[in-house]
Chain A
Amino acid sequence: MVAALLPLSLVAQTKPAPRAANGKPDLSGFWKGPLLRTMFESSGGPQFTAAGKAAYEANLKSPNPEGLCLFAGIPRASISGVPFEIVQNPTRIAFLYELMTTWRSIPVDGRKHPDIRDIEPSYFGNGIGRWDGDTLVIDSIGFKEKLSWVDDDAHPHSDQMHVVERWRRPDWDHLEHEVTVEDPKFYTKSWTFRRVFTHMPPGQEVMEFACDENNVDRDKGHLGLGPHDPSKYSGVQ
């Protein structure tokens, strides 16, 4: 239980998680969490296939796609450090990412994925949701392979990536996010990472972020290549 690990004062102040009219937990809210730089920490580091290693090394010599204003997709958009809003109704749940004003709308109505050949690859993939008790499970396939990193550290993903997200709201102020990623084309084993988001302060709302409005860094060639080294700086999670 994450709540058990929180400071007592925080637990005492928070309210129970709200429930929707259909009895399911209501995940609606405006959520934030710092940039996550430890996606592979609990899994012992990335276990690349030969193709995955080649893709990683190519990424190290490439500009961060986010710096080019390309969509972060998942799992990266949720852990970017930029807040996002969740809007929920009984049959769909929408993620409104402030990062580049992107979104995904996930059906939660019992449907299955289409045939993979009928899915146009995308940055956010084809996601379907279902409830597992009080946990929302989103299963996504059908991703692009080029110009998309899984994190800020240049780790690649292929068009065979399969992402399973488990979202749970233990109380009003917190939202747990557990993600398992498998990608047999680029990685020899799956990995799982976790993150707890907190609710943004009252009065804060999601804002427009038109990334390509004035991308001086890209247009003047200022962008460097590959990720930065988090060990050199403080304050990075």
Chain B
Amino acid sequence: MKLQSLILCTVLSISSLVAHHSFSAEFDAQKPVTLEGTVTRLEWANPHVYFYIEVKDASGAVTNWGCETGGPNSLIRSGWRRDAMKIGDKVIVKGYRARDNSTTCDARQVTLADGRKVFTGSSDDGGPKQ
């Protein structure tokens, strides 16, 4: 899908779907995170899509993060397909860390391996739009 149409679909979908739980039930809007890493696992399933990435810090240490997005229906209506993200892809995730400080995040925007930036949050879940 071309970038322009993906963005359009994303905008159109903003008000159409909701999480099965609210953003702040699990995540903290005061803890924004930006993660660059390699996808190691993808769980394309309800109620939220989960993907896992390995993130290397400056010293080379690797941390595994698990990030959730809206459900498959929400992502499909935003222009995603289940093969949009693959194991081994390098992605950039902008999101918010879990309240419990685990390496869990709510992904609001993902830059895919091909450079596309997509909104991935659960719309209307009360969380930040970006």
Contact = CB atoms under 8 A, between A and B. Distances in A.
**Do these two chains really belong together in a complex?**
yes
Interface of A: 32, 34-35, 63-64, 66-67, 69, 80-83, 98-100, 152, 200-201, 204, 207, 209-217, 222-225, 227-230, 232-236
Given A81-B17, A217-B68, A235 B129 contact: yes
Interface in B55-109: 66, 68, 71, 73, 76-77, 98-100, 102, 104
A82 B18 contact: yes
A204 to B, nearest CB: 7
Nearest to A226: B25
24 contacts: A34-B124, A67-B25, A81-B124, A83-B16, A83-B17, A200-B16, A211-B46, A212-B46, A213-B47, A214-B46, A214-B48, A216-B50, A222-B100, A222-B102, A223-B26, A224-B24, A228-B24, A229-B24, A232-B29, A233-B23, A233-B126, A233-B127, A235-B129, A236-B126
B124 A227 contact: no
Interface residues of B, number: 38
A200 B17 CA distance: 11
Contacts of A80: 18
Per DSSP, chain B at the interface is loop
Per DSSP, chain A at the interface is loop
A211 B98 contact: no
B50 A64 contact: no
Contact of B46 (A64, A200, A210, A224): A210
A102 to B, nearest CB: 12
Contacts of A32: 15-16
A98 B129 CA distance: 23
A32 to B, nearest CB: 5
Given A214-B43, A217-B48, A64 B21 contact: yes
Interface of B: 12, 14-18, 20-26, 29, 43, 45-48, 50, 66, 68, 71, 73, 76-77, 98-100, 102, 104, 123-129
B18 A35 contact: yes
Given A228-B23, A233-B128, A209 B46 contact: yes
A64 B22 contact: yes
Contacts of B50: 214, 216
Contacts of A209: 46-47, 71, 73
Q: Which 7 A-B pairs have the closest CB atoms?
A: A81-B18, A67-B21, A228-B24, A214-B45, A81-B124, A228-B22, A224-B25
Contacts of B77: 204
A34 B15 contact: yes
A80 B74 CA distance: 14
B124 to A, nearest CB: 4
Given A209-B71, A227-B22, 14 more contacts: A64-B25, A67-B25, A81-B15, A204-B77, A209-B46, A209-B47, A210-B46, A213-B45, A224-B24, A225-B25, A232-B126, A234-B129, A235-B14, A236-B124
Nearest to A152: B22
